[in-house]
């Protein structure tokens, strides 16, 4: 769809003018402007911490702006809560789905708006039928009567989308909705967004994937450090230009893995199997080397990492660290042997969200920092400072809860936590998922430095450019098996993708 | 570009929708839970009756129904609270306070018609519930702590008021005491009152928007707030409703036992929570039904009587109740695991 599509120059549906919002001393938004026009998809891009999520929360009625003006259809708009936003026709699809696990899928979609029959009772049959119709429109099959608990992230996201569709939103806000979706599902989502636009709705789309931004949106607004930078038509912009505006500098090399001297083999995995999950997985990682574990989601990569680290058991095979066998099923022994695992889901597995930055950063080193079982405050702080400084964690103070940090900074805290244990082998699962371009480059530079210092790094990643840019060797997994090993020279988009989809030769 | 973008076959369009409309999975799980309670109850009654056939005689059944009515009402009220991921430990004290207040009312004004006494009792209970709800809303402290405080506070007021006195059946009008032991077609009035409470609350929780919102709040409070549910107002209302039901239970307690002192209903709150948990109400909120909680209350009461019939030392009763709670939790866990396995199977096979 071209920017000259019908309605491109209509009067804006929703206007934000000079909106500011601060949390304590931290200014999250500083005088942001935004105009959403009917029939148009508008992209909002910026690094993590640029204020996008705060803006979404303001549109959702979850936060009230400190100053500034909001207008809907030219009239002033005041949102006192999420219910007001919904009444104004604003639907929000959050980055992380917000479902009720105990309730049925249909109830999740229609909560508070269930179809009614006599005596204001809920008409369950009609509700399930309506939900089924919404899923038909989306072209997916999810049983509306099943509980939301146990849905995959992608399915949860689809339920959120169905929810937004169900109340014929005039303004649809999507905060990184595609992070967990497959290609087909993304296409469907875009189809829905476009059909909403054709009916005169306005779409606000937030994403780190530029191909999607340029595919869907007619205008792009860039935010940096909470401030508005620019709004332009997509046709007047290039990806390079957008990235430059986001980071305020040229990002010359996104993936700066330097060649490091390769040292002794530190991690040896042979014949590792777990029934139904992965089988006969063998590989080794040497000091100074970054080995990428590539493959489609569900190929068993994270499961292998968890088994190596001792979180999960395995049925057969052996793990050796620097030549010595590592007993299975004990993360404590693994840590003692010099292993560190930075998990994929940092919110649930990597961080205690309510605890402070410094507590989180030193969590894995409690015993080394304590005397007679008591944590020494000073030692804890010094240690936390050392690593958060090296990783350039942006936090208002070290005692702030981790929950208040942006995604990229949270990831840095997880890294700090594990690096503080001074590991010899670092297993890192999706190191830059949901992280902005600038922080991404920082994480990559850091990984490269660590390899240079002699660390053996096993990196699991679904981002192909990251795999190709960072890895000395690429192991491709398909349905629980390592089907291909590629050197840096051999690995390109085609060879990795062919192996990951189960085509091409095996090892 | 991401590796996940390609090659994933579309697994969801495999089966076209077919077949008659069936009961939802979510509901079926609840039904299984309630059915297992009924089976346990049936087995208990069967075993006890085999040992002593008088266990199913008219008088014995009547006693049983009479005995469980008050616990059923309290358990249903507690379900409202627990479903929202809260708990109310003050119900025993509210019951005691209202029971004593009812007795005092008849002492002061012997001519009071019984419906007025019931209404005043319910209102006093609702007032106590409003204190709980208000404190929770203002102090933003977990309900467990607040109601632990009011458990002692309400009981303290009760003791101060009673100052050692006891109210006897002779002090109360016959018309009121009849509420406690009259039967309609052989069924105690008290039990009928409990059945009405179960039916109304159970239907409300299942079929009304605000009822479903209580589950939403307990299931994921943050998401509830984002979907525009007035969380604070709903939680407050739930404590008021639970207080009102505890008040009703207090009036019925006065009618049934006639002899009242300040200690009435001491320790009842844990029995109430136990009944709800045995009845499948998840202690972390979001699931469970009033019917299940009521069945849990009936089961706990029946165990009490059948142990007596089976000539098992009453000291064992508490251990049996404890084992039952653990068994109920084990069953819930098992059902959850089987459910999870089935759901995984579903998404793998496409519907």
Over chain B, what HEC string results? CEHHHCCCCCCCCCCCCCCCCCCCHHHHHHHHHHHHHHHHHHHHHHHHHHHCHHHHCHHHHHHHHHHHHHHHHHHHHHHHHHHCCCCCCCHHHHHHHHHHHHHHHHHHCCCCCHHHHHHHHHHHHHHHHHHHHHHHHHHCCCHHHHHHHHHHHHHHHHHHHHCCCCECHHHCCHHHHHHHHCEECCEEHHHHHHHHHHHHHHHHHHHCHHHHHHHHHHHCHHHHHHCCCCHHHHHHHHHHHHHHHHHHHHHHHHHHHCCECCCCCCCHHHHHHHHHHHCCCCCCCCCCCHHHHHHHHHHHHHHHHHHHHCCCCCHHHHHHHHHHHHHHHHHHHHHHHHHHHHHHHHHHHCC
Contacts of A377 (CB under 8 A, 6+ apart): none
B231 near A CB under 8 A: no
Pairwise CA distance, residues A434 & A443, whole Å: 13
Cross-chain residue pair B4–A120, CB shorter than 8 Å: no
Q: Which of B8, B219, B223 sits opposite A182 (nearest CB)?
A: B8
pLDDT at B4 (0 to 100): 41
Q: Which residues are registered as beta bridge partners of A486? A: A474
Residue found under tokens 């009567």: A145
According to the model, what pLDDT value does residue A376 have? 61
pLDDT of residue A290: 94
Residue A249 banded pLDDT, cuts 50, 70, 90: low
Answer for the pair B73, B118: CB distance below 8 angstroms, yes or no. no
User: Lowest-pLDDT range, A241-245, A483-487, B69-73, B240-244?
Assistant: A241-245
pLDDT surpasses 70 at A255: no
Best of A128, A143, A461, A493 to disrupt the B interface (most B CBs within 10 Å) is: A143
Nearest CA in chain B to A61: B226
Inspect the interface and report whether the beta carbons of A128 and B24 lie closer than 8 Å: yes
Longest dimension (CA), chain A: 76
Distance CA(B320)–CA(A166), nearest Å, equals 50
Is B219–A184 a contact, with Cβ atoms under 8 angstroms apart? no
Instruction: Name the residue of chain B whose CA is nearest to A122's CA.
Output: B207
Q: Which helix (H) or strand (E) element contains residue A185?
A: helix A183-198
Contact B5 A111 (CB under 8 A): no
A185, two tokens: 């599902």
User: Which stretches of chain B score pLDDT less than 50?
Assistant: 1-21, 348-351
Q: How far apart are CA A342 and CA A426, in angstroms?
A: 8
Contact flag B1-A464 (C-beta cutoff 8 Å):
yes
**Looking at CA atoms only, how far is residue A182 from chain B in angstroms?**
5
- To 10 degrees, what angle do helices B91-108 and B268-278 make? 130
B contact residues 169-208, partner A, Cβ 8 Å cutoff: 207-208
What mean pLDDT, rounded, does chain A reach? 83
CB contact under 8 A, A141 and B230: no
Lowest mean pLDDT among A124-138, A269-283, A437-451, B178-192: A437-451
Structure confidence at residue A2 as a pLDDT band (50, 70, 90)? very low
Task: Indicate whether this model's pTM tops 0.90.
Answer: no
| Per-residue confidence (pLDDT) for residue A372, from 0 to 100 | 63
Of A100, A132, A151, the CB nearest to B219: A100
Cβ neighbours of B227 in A, within 8 Å: 82, 86, 98, 111-112
The answer to whether A131 and A109 have CB atoms below 8 angstroms apart is: yes
Q: How confident is the model at residue A359 (pLDDT cuts 50, 70, 90)?
A: confident
Helix (H, G, I), strand (E, B) or coil at A316: strand
Q: What's the CA gap between B253 and B275, in Å, rounded?
A: 18
Q: What is the ipTM of this complex?
A: 0.84
Q: Report the residue of chain A nearest B21, measured CA to CA.
A: A125
Check CB contact of B5 with chain A, cutoff 8 Å.
yes
Smallest CA–CA distance from B14 into chain A, residue: A141
B326 min Cα distance to partner chain A (Å) = 22
Q: Which of A82, A464, A493 sits opposite B228 (nearest CB)?
A: A82
**Using a CB-CB distance cutoff of 8 angstroms, which residues of chain A are in contact with residue B229?**
111-112
Backbone dihedral angles phi then psi of residue A502, each to the nearest 5 degrees:
85, 10
* Cα–Cα distance, A110 to A114 (Å, whole number): 5
Q: Is B339 on the interface with A (CB under 8 A)?
A: yes
Q: What is the largest CA-CA distance in chain B?
A: 84
A145–B230 CB contact, under 8 Å: no
DSSP secondary structure letters along A257-305: PPP-----EEEEEEEEEETTTEEEEEEEEETT-EEEEEE-TTSSHHHHH
Are B3 and A463 an interchain contact pair (Cβ–Cβ within 8 Å)? yes
DSSP label of A94: -
Cβ-based neighbours of A113, under 8 Å, separated by 6 or more? A166, A167
The pLDDT > 90 percentage for chain A reads 36
Strongest mean pLDDT among A78-87, A466-475, B42-51, B286-295: B286-295
Yes or no, beta carbons of B207 and A464 under 8 Å apart: no
pLDDT average, residue stretch A96-112: 90
The confidence band for A469, taking pLDDT boundaries of 50, 70 and 90, is confident
CB interface of B with A, residues 268-327, below 8 Å: 282, 286-287
Say if strands A265-274 and A316-321 run parallel, antiparallel, or are unpaired: antiparallel
- The crossing angle, in degrees rounded to 10, of helices A239-247 and A437-452 is 80
pLDDT interval class at A297 (50, 70, 90)? low
Verify whether the Cβ–Cβ distance A103 to B213 is below 8 Å: no
- Give the residue with greater pLDDT, A67 vs A432: A67
Phi, psi of A202 (to 5 degrees): -110, 140
- Nearest-neighbour CA in chain B from A149: distance (Å): 8
Could you tell me which residue, A283 or A396, shows the higher pLDDT?
A283
More confident residue, A262 or A221: A221
Interface mutation target, options A146, A212, A301, A465, chain B, most CBs of B under 10 Å:
A146
A190, containing H or E segment: helix A183-198
Query: Do A143 and B5 make contact, defined as CB atoms within 8 angstroms?
Result: no
Residue B4, CB-side half-sphere exposure with 13 Å CA sphere: 16
The answer to whether A297 contacts B223, with C-beta atoms less than 8 Å apart, is no
Nearest to A492 by CA among A507, A471, A461: A471
What does the pLDDT average to over A349-359?
Answer: 75
Q: What's chain B's Rg over C-alpha atoms?
A: 23
Out of A24-33, A125-134, A492-501, B4-13, which region has the weakest mean confidence (pLDDT)? Answer: B4-13
Count contacts between A and B (CB, < 8 Å): 163
In whole angstroms, give the CA distance from residue A255 to residue A241: 18
pLDDT attached to residue A261? 81
Task: Give mean pLDDT, residues A109-128.
Answer: 92
Provide the shortest C-alpha distance from residue B235 to chain A (in Å).
Answer: 16
Query: SS3 for A323?
Result: coil
Minimum distance, in Å, between the CA of residue B46 and any CA atom of chain A: 34
CB contact under 8 A, B12 and A463: no
Chain B residue at shortest CA distance from A142 = B351
pLDDT digits (tens, 9 = 90+) for A3-27: 444 444 578 999 999 999 987 666 7
Q: Report the chain B residue with the minimal C-alpha distance to residue A211.
A: B1
Task: Give Cα A76 distance to the centre of its chain.
Answer: 34
Point out the residue among B26, B208, B224 whose CB comes nearest to the CB of A104: B26
Closest partner residue to A111 (CB to CB) among B13, B25, B212 is B212
């Amino acid at each position: 769809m071209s920017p000259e599509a019908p309605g491109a120059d209509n009067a804006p549906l929703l206007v934000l003018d000079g909106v500011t919002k601060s949390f304590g001393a931290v200014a999250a938004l500083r005088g942001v402007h935004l105009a959403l026009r009917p029939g148009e998809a508008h992209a909002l891009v910026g690094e993590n911490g640029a204020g996008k999520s705060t803006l979404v929360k303001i549109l959702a009625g979850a936060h009230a702006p400190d100053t500034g003006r909001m207008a809907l259809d030219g009239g002033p708009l005041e949102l006192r809560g999420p219910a007001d936003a919904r009444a104004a026709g604003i639907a929000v699809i959050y980055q992380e789905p917000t479902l009720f696990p105990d309730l049925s899928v249909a109830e999740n979609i229609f909560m508070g708006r269930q179809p009614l029959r006599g005596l204001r009772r809920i008409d369950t049959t009609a509700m399930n039928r309506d939900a089924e119709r919404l899923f038909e429109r989306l072209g997916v099959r999810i049983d509306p009567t099943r509980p939301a608990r146990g849905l995959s992230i992608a399915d949860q996201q689809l339920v959120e989308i169905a929810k937004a569709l169900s109340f014929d939103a005039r303004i649809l806000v999507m905060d990184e909705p595609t992070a967990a979706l497959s290609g087909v599902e993304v296409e469907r989502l875009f189809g829905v967004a476009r059909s909403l636009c054709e009916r005169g709705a306005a779409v606000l789309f937030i994403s780190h994937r530029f191909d999607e931004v340029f595919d869907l949106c007619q205008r792009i607004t860039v935010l940096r450090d909470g401030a508005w930078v620019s709004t332009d038509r997509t046709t007047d912009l290039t990806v390079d230009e957008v990235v430059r505006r986001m980071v305020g500098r040229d990002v010359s090399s996104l993936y700066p893995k330097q060649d490091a001297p390769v040292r002794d083999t530190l991690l040896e995995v042979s014949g590792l199997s777990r029934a139904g999950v992965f089988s006969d997985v063998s590989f080794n990682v040497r000091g100074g080397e970054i080995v990428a574990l590539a493959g489609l989601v569900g190929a068993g990569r994270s499961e292998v990492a968890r088994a190596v680290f001792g979180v999960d058991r395995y049925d057969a095979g052996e793990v050796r660290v620097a030549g010595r066998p590592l007993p299975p099923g004990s993360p404590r022994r693994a840590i003692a042997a010099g292993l560190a695992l930075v998990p994929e889901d940092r919110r649930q597995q990597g961080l205690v969200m309510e605890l402070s930055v410094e507590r989180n950063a030193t969590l894995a080193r409690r015993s080394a920092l304590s005397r007679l079982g008591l944590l020494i405050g000073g030692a804890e702080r010094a240690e936390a400072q050392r690593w958060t400084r090296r990783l350039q964690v942006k936090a208002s103070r070290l005692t702030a809860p981790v929950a208040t940090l942006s995604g990229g900074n949270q990831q840095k805290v997880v890294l700090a936590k594990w690096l503080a244990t001074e590991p010899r082998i670092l297993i890192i699962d999706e190191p830059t998922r949901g992280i902005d371009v600038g922080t991404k480059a920082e994480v990559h530079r850091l990984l490269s430095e660590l390899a240079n210092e002699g660390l053996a790094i096993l990196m699991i990643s679904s981002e192909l450019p990251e795999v190709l840019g960072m890895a000395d060797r690429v192991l491709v997994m398909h349905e629980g098996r390592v089907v291909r090993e590629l050197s840096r020279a051999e690995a390109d988009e085609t060879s990795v993708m062919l192996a990951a989809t189960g085509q091409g030769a095996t090892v | 570009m991401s590796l996940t973008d390609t090659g994933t076959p579309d697994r969801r369009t495999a089966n076209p929708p077919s077949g008659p409309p069936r009961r939802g999975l979510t509901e079926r799980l609840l039904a299984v839970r309630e059915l297992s309670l009924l089976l346990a109850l049936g087995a208990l009654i069967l075993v006890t009756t085999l040992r002593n056939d008088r266990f199913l005689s008219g008088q014995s059944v009547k006693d049983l129904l009479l005995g469980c009515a008050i616990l059923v009402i309290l358990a249903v009220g507690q379900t409202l609270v627990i479903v929202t991921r809260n708990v109310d430990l003050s119900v025993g004290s509210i019951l005691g306070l209202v029971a004593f207040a009812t007795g005092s009312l008849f002492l002061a004004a012997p001519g009071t018609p019984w419906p007025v006494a019931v209404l005043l009792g319910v209102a006093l209970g609702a007032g106590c519930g409003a204190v709980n709800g208000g404190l929770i809303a203002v102090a933003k402290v977990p309900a467990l702590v607040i109601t632990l405080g009011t458990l002692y506070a309400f009981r303290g007021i009760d003791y101060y008021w009673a100052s050692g006195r006891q109210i006897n059946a002779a002090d109360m009008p016959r018309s009121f005491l009849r509420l406690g032991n009259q039967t309609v077609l052989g069924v105690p009035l008290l039990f009928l009152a409990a059945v009405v409470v179960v039916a109304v609350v159970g239907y409300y929780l299942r079929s009304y928007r605000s009822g479903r919102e209580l589950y939403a709040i307990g299931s994921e409070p943050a998401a509830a707030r984002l979907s525009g549910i007035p969380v604070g107002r709903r939680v407050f209302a739930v404590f008021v409703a639970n207080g009102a039901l505890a008040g009703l239970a207090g009036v019925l307690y006065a009618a049934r036992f006639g002899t009242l002192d300040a200690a009435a209903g001491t320790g009842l709150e844990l029995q109430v929570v136990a009944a709800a948990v045995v009845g499948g109400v998840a202690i972390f909120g979001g699931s469970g039904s009033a019917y299940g909680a009521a069945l849990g209350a009936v089961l706990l009461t029946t165990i009490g009587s059948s142990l007596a019939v089976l000539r098992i030392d009453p000291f064992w009763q508490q251990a049996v109740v404890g084992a039952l709670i653990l068994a109920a939790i084990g069953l819930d866990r098992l059902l959850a695991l089987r459910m999870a396995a089935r759901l995984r199977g579903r998404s793998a096979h496409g519907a």
